[in-house]
Amino acid sequence: MRKILAVGVLFFLLFVFAYNAYTYHQLSSAEGAYKLAGISNSEKLIAVYHDEDFWQFATYNPKTQELKVYYIAQNSPLFFRTKKTKTVKTPLNYSPLAFDLNLLEKAPKETPALLFAGKWYTQKNPPKFPSASEVLKEYENRSIRRIALLYAKKELWIKTYLHVDSSAYEIGTEDVLVIPTLSNKSSFIPVIEIPNGEHTSILAIYYSDVTITGSSKTFYHGSFKLNGQLIEAILNVSTHHLTNNTSFSKIEIYCFFPNAGLNWVSVEKYFKGISMKERLPTWYLNRKLEDTPIKCNKQGT
């Protein structure tokens, strides 16, 4: 009986080792990792991130308006793989970012690497985002509800929260996919929210060569006229607070009445898979909240 049990245990261990070795081999390529992630055919692939022994795949389903990020990793053939998924509803149309799956075959050997808008990027060739000043020039003297500058050093980010003093602070962004800058720490993804009626807004996300837009309900009930003073305030905050240790940062100027507020949040630590967390502990956060001298229009128009 003991011999039968020992043989059974041996076969089980051999099976586990063989299965994990196969999985580890699959994760050596973008195509293999994509298959292991189990992504539905109804989802369009819009971004891929690869760093050492893990992969992330971002998808968009135009029918359900769901934005997803898949995470799959395995440290060695001896251990089971880690697989996680985050899903959010988004009013933004990410269909223009969809690309052909054949591009997975062209993944570079260097890591970290990013596939976005049909092109692979590495630290030698990082993605280039439009500067905040370039984007804001388009909105000079127009009514604005919110401006956000989003930064990720590593990984693909969507919603992540941190509870402090019984309040929930947003680290990722609920309906926006944030892609990593790879090597350019001063690059931000600009987000502009403009009034579209009393309770809705138009959102515009400025990626490297693509602008993603959508309409949704708003949390902000006021608006303000954009001017050079606001541009300078945003740029000063972003350059002053971003450090070499920053893994994620968000700088927002938004309009609740009667005054506009400035909210700066950053994550100053990093561990593999951090963007897939639903919550982060308090000590990961750096936060600053203050009023700006810009007055809000209560009508939000």
pLDDT tens digits for 17-34?
A: 444 444 444 456 888 899
Contact residues for 75 (Cβ-Cβ < 8 A; gap 6+):
53
Does the CA dihedral 233-288-139-185 come out positive or negative? Answer: positive
Question: Residue 19's pLDDT is what?
Answer: 43
User: CA separation (Å) from 71 to 3, 25, 37, 49, 282?
Assistant: 41, 17, 8, 9, 24
Does the CA dihedral 190-219-86-251 come out positive or negative? Answer: positive
Between 301 and 51, the more confident residue is 51
CB 52 within 8 A of CB 109: no
User: CA separation (Å) from 75 to 89, 237, 246?
Assistant: 31, 38, 24
Between 100 and 24, the more confident residue is 100
**Distance, CA of 188 to CA of 74 (rounded, Å):** 30
Greatest Cα-to-Cα distance within the chain, rounded to the nearest angstrom: 84
Question: Residue 57's pLDDT is what?
Answer: 97
Extended beta strands in the chain, E state = 44-51, 54-61, 66-73, 82-89, 113-116, 119-122, 143-144, 146-152, 161-164, 167-170, 189-195, 200-206, 211-217, 224-225, 248-255, 259-267, 285-295
Indicate whether 213 pLDDT > 90.
yes
Specify the long-range contacts of residues 9-17, CB closer than 8 Å, at least 24 apart: 17/77, 17/78
65 band by pLDDT with thresholds 50, 70 and 90:
very high
CB 233 within 8 A of CB 253: yes
**Distance, CA of 279 to CA of 276 (rounded, Å):** 9
Question: Residue 81's pLDDT is what?
Answer: 66
Q: What's phi and psi for 260, nearest 5 deg? A: -80, 150
pLDDT tens profile 146-176: 888 999 999 999 988 776 666 666 777 888 9
Output DSSP code: residue 123: T
Indicate whether 248 pLDDT > 60.
yes
Q: Which helix (H) or strand (E) holds 17?
A: helix 2-26
DSSP annotation string for 217-239: E-S---BEE--HHHHHHHHHHHH
Residue for token digits 């309040």?
167
Question: Residue 28's pLDDT is what?
Answer: 62
pLDDT tens profile 106-156: 999 999 999 999 999 999 999 988 888 888 888 888 888 988 899 999 999
Indicate whether 289 pLDDT > 70.
no
Question: Residue 114's pLDDT is what?
Answer: 97
The average confidence (pLDDT) of the chain is: 81
42 band by pLDDT with thresholds 50, 70 and 90:
very high
Question: Residue 256's pLDDT is what?
Answer: 77
**Distance, CA of 167 to CA of 127 (rounded, Å):** 34
Contact residues for 242 (Cβ-Cβ < 8 A; gap 6+):
151, 185, 186, 249, 266
Indicate whether 218 pLDDT > 50.
yes
